[in-house]
Chain A
């Protein structure tokens, strides 16, 4: 069957397994095969991390059971296909939250760990791997091992952010964080240009648990880098649960729907809807964390050819200059981006290939049209020149040489893979494209 990542620009013809029971997962993994295998979980990575053209994928979405929960300590044990959004809603009813959550609740805990995902609170609570206490990992040999940050920490660090290449996670234990309510108190404020934006975020992250910025990637000149900053903190009081309904993108939008004009208009609208003094309100945390989840299949907005997402991180000191260059390249190219996100991060991820680093991260979508690869190439160059890195969860275009320069712990990662997977059982389109095994 044909599968694609969330961006739908890259596809793969695969033999897919979809076990519904735990022994079925092991059985699928141990099946005879000539080419390698990789897990496809929620499919919310944009590029080719969960794809394996010509080979096998094992879909884990049906293994979505919570195996135990301790509402004193906040420790939950999950099958790998439990979605972070489900876990969040269940945890909230016991006054806990998943401490780190990406911008979609449809990512699974398996995918969350394999990309060591980060949220809007990265500067305060780190990334997903910092909250996982153990993982039952089926190694490429078929052996099942419980790995923890302490026992065989090298294997643990290779698995956190290891884009599925160390084996199959069968279950994991996550430590939830206690909260007082299901809500956050959020503030929105306008920033007129990039410098103001960075100054505001620098200040906000000292004070607030969550900080994120929406940036108008079509604005140029004096307005370059203008946007809206959101900051938020745990609220003391409950709020009404968000309505459960979701709108569905009923049909594929024609490719031309996402053009320069519609994108600029959207961005201008998004920017100007907010009064200059900003505003403050109480919001359900799920609504705050997952704004796009209200529209099912929103990726179809980009038409059949799909889109790419570019997300890079730049170190603190390089950020002001590097971000300006990136924004100039983007607004100059005129392809535009529907919603661009700029946020600060404060901590390194623990995995060999973890993305987070102290500094800033910028993420944008580009429709898959002629010229997009050249633009991505330029952005890759700028990122590299400023000591930054591109996020594997989003990437579908980076070159292998750049990847090797961006991830200095690649050798340690390779050493673990050579030890546990000498026959290269695990394989993916991303692993081949980025020559991760050398």
Chain B
């Protein structure tokens, strides 16, 4: 983190029941920050809070947060900002319904957009003024390589993440002016609940590896980071396949 020894760093972890978020909370606390865990599964967050505080001796708080309930976000952000020391934000929540299920049920498409896109924007929108006022800090957001190109298998989720990526580009420019860094993380595969049991996974990052990569990216004020980094190359190729070929491909 930006060095100011007397400053009490906090990380607000949104979607803290994800195993990557959990690993991130541990890693950030190990590095000396206090943690605020936010999410829906309060029993699970309570367990993680106790764990992180026993492991690291840092203060860990828990606040209920639902990405889809945008009406609650203003009050949520007030509460989080009041509890935090110097605020940094790690946004981990996301939802990936199966594309073929979305195809027959538009409610699932709406949910994917509500969580991955609208929910993320809503909470970041309300956090932004506080970060600007702070004049420093980090925002790290778990997006996805799926946003790099619309694929047959995943295009609703992909389009929500693509929207998120574009939003983050703008937010980066805005907050940069006030000394706050915004990092877009594009994971390829991470070994979490979301991908457990899916066949044909490769170059998979463990939650711990992914969390460490996120923390390092924040420290270095990186803009866009692929995790694991090989995915930069893979997506580079995928982005450059001509559309008339790509549309026939089964990926």
Contact = CB atoms under 8 A, between A and B. Distances in A.
B211 to A, nearest CB: 14
Interface in B13-53: 17, 19, 41, 43-44, 47-48, 50-51
A83 B202 CA distance: 26
A21 interface: yes
Contacts of A20: 17, 19, 192-193
B8 interface: no
A21 B55 contact: no
A65 B196 contact: no
B64 interface: no
A21 B40 CA distance: 13
Contacts of A76: 54
B54 A22 contact: no
B17 A21 contact: yes
Interface in A60-90: 62, 65-69, 76, 79, 86, 90
A66 B54 contact: yes
A22 B51 CA distance: 14
B19 A65 contact: no
A68 B54 contact: yes
A66 B51 contact: yes
Q: Chain A's interface: helix, strand, loop or mixed, by majority?
A: mixed
A67 B41 CA distance: 16
Contacts of B43: 22-23
A222 B19 CA distance: 57
Contact of B48 (A18, A23, A65): A65
Contacts of B51: 65-67
Contacts of A68: 50, 54
Contacts of A23: 43
Interface string A10-29: 00000000101111000000
B55 A90 contact: yes
Contacts of B47: 22, 65, 67, 79
Interface residues of B, number: 14
A393 B43 CA distance: 34
Given A67-B47, A67-B51, A18 B41 contact: no
Interface string A318-359: 000000000000000000000000000000000000000000
Contact of B54 (A18, A21, A62, A90): A90
B50 A67 contact: yes
A92 to B, nearest CB: 12
Given A65-B48, A67-B47, A68-B50, A18 B55 contact: no
A66 B54 CA distance: 7
Nearest to A24: B193
B27 to A, nearest CB: 13
A278 B101 CA distance: 69
B25 to A, nearest CB: 11
A76 B196 CA distance: 30
A62 B17 CA distance: 12
A21 B196 contact: no
Contact of B50 (A21, A66, A90): A66
Most central of A62, A65, A86, A90 by chain B CB within 10 Å:
A65
A297 to B, nearest CB: 14
Nearest to B191: A18
Nearest to A82: B51
Most central of A21, A79, A86, A90 by chain B CB within 10 Å:
A21
B35 to A, nearest CB: 14
Nearest to B56: A90
A62 B19 contact: yes
Given A21-B17, A22-B47, A79-B47, A66 B193 contact: no
B24 to A, nearest CB: 14
A18 B197 CA distance: 9
Nearest to A65: B51
Nearest to A77: B50
Given A21-B17, A22-B44, A65 B50 contact: yes
Given A62-B19, A68-B50, A90-B54, A18 B44 contact: no
A23 B17 CA distance: 13
A68 B51 CA distance: 7
Nearest to B192: A20
Contacts of B17: 20-21
Contacts of A69: 54
Contacts of A79: 47
Interface of B: 17, 19, 41, 43-44, 47-48, 50-51, 54-55, 192-193, 196
Q: Which 6 A-B pairs have the closest CB atoms?
A: A65-B51, A69-B54, A66-B54, A65-B47, A66-B51, A21-B44
26 contacts: A18-B196, A20-B17, A20-B19, A20-B192, A20-B193, A21-B41, A21-B44, A22-B43, A22-B44, A22-B47, A23-B43, A62-B19, A65-B47, A65-B48, A65-B50, A66-B50, A66-B51, A66-B54, A67-B47, A67-B50, A67-B51, A68-B50, A69-B54, A76-B54, A79-B47, A86-B55
Given A22-B47, A65-B51, A69-B54, 9 more contacts: A20-B19, A20-B192, A22-B44, A23-B43, A67-B47, A76-B54, A86-B55, A90-B54, A90-B55
